[in-house]
Amino acid sequence: MNHKECFLGQQIKPGDIIEIKMPREDIDGEPVAGKLNVVYEDDELLVVNKPPLCVTHPTKSHQLDTLANFISYYWQEQGTAAKIRFINRLDRDTTGIVAIAKNKYVHHYVQKEMNSGKVKKVYHAFVHGRLPNEVGIIDAPIGQPYEDSIHRIVMESGKPSVTQYRVLEEYRDASLVELVLETGRTHQIRVHLKYLGNPIIGDPLYHSDKQEDDCFGMSHQALHARSLELSLPQKKQLYVLAEYNNELIDLRKRLIDKI
């Protein structure tokens, strides 16, 4: 207080300057040079546009080629001292917004906002066919068909799962759909769209019976975390948008050309 250390119970008065110093932390990832598309960054948050075929954090089979490795290297070069605290994660093949808190307090703050429904995440997906309605809600419980299953399915004993959707564009045999999650189940969007009869183009897990030419030239599922809207301790509101990568841009062009 007023540039001097003070006790928690010390009284304050108008005009006093209160300063809270966050502890300095070391980067906890293995730094590896890699392409990092930074969408937004300040003292509290880093937001990147994740490329396809990139794992978010290290796993048994991916140790040095993950988003966490690239962020560690970027922060090391920038002189940023922080642990990597992911606010959200994306599947390996899903592209788009991933947000990382730069300290424990910001991470806790945003997680609390998420739990109270104040954080809005919007996804875009290119799907097979046309949806039954232009706007709708998919309310179908999702669960594992058996223990340790990678797949998720709609099942009566599953956890409540709700996805809002809105059709943005319709093509000859495909659609571009905007999706907002009300719940956050594993593979929720992919499972719900398959359940609706409109699996995501290029999805290797939930459209496995596809023909080779049924992927419209995609090497990965055409699912993109498009935007994120949230508040931060030092900001009332922040809105960030992630552009499509070249493969999604080309996919959209091919679909439009087929109309």
pLDDT tens readout for residues 224-242: 999 999 999 988 899 999 9
Place of tokens 């706007």: 135
pLDDT at 209: 61
Whole-number average pLDDT of the chain: 93
Place of tokens 């809207």: 229
Kindly indicate whether the domain formed by 38-257 is annotated with CATH number 3.10.129.10: no
Q: How far apart are CA 194 and CA 188, in angstroms?
A: 10
Is the predicted pLDDT of residue 259 greater than 60, yes or no? yes
DSSP string, 150-174: S--EE-TTSB--EEEEEEEEE-SSE
SS (H, E, C) 193-249: HHHHCCCECCCCCCCCCCCHHHHCCCCCCCEEEEEEEEEECCEEEEEEECCCCHHHH
The β-bridge partners of 166 are: 135, 178
Q: How far apart are CA 96 and CA 66, in angstroms?
A: 15
130 dihedral zone (left: phi>0; alpha: psi -120 to 50; beta): beta
**Nearest CA to 85 among 76, 98, 66?**
98
What average pLDDT score do residues 171-200 get? 95
Reported confidence tier of residue 219, pLDDT bands at 50, 70, 90: confident
Domain ranges of the chain: 38-257
Reported confidence tier of residue 216, pLDDT bands at 50, 70, 90: confident
For the chain, how far is it from start to end, CA to CA, in angstroms?
66
Q: How far apart are CA 75 and CA 81, in angstroms?
A: 7
Quickly list H helices, 12-87: 67-78
Q: How far apart are CA 97 and CA 51, in angstroms?
A: 10
Higher-confidence residue: 22 or 7? Answer: 7
What average pLDDT score do residues 196-212 get? 82
23-74 pLDDT per residue, tens: 889 998 999 999 999 999 999 999 999 999 999 998 888 999 999 999 999 9
Question: What pTM value is reported for the model?
Answer: 0.90
Q: Which residues are catalytic?
A: 91
117-157 pLDDT per residue, tens: 899 999 999 999 999 999 999 999 999 999 889 999 999 99
Is the predicted pLDDT of residue 211 greater than 90, yes or no? no
Higher-confidence residue: 48 or 258? Answer: 48
Q: How far apart are CA 224 and CA 123, in angstroms?
A: 6
Amino acid at 200: I
HSE (side-chain half, CA atoms, 13 Å) at 114: 14
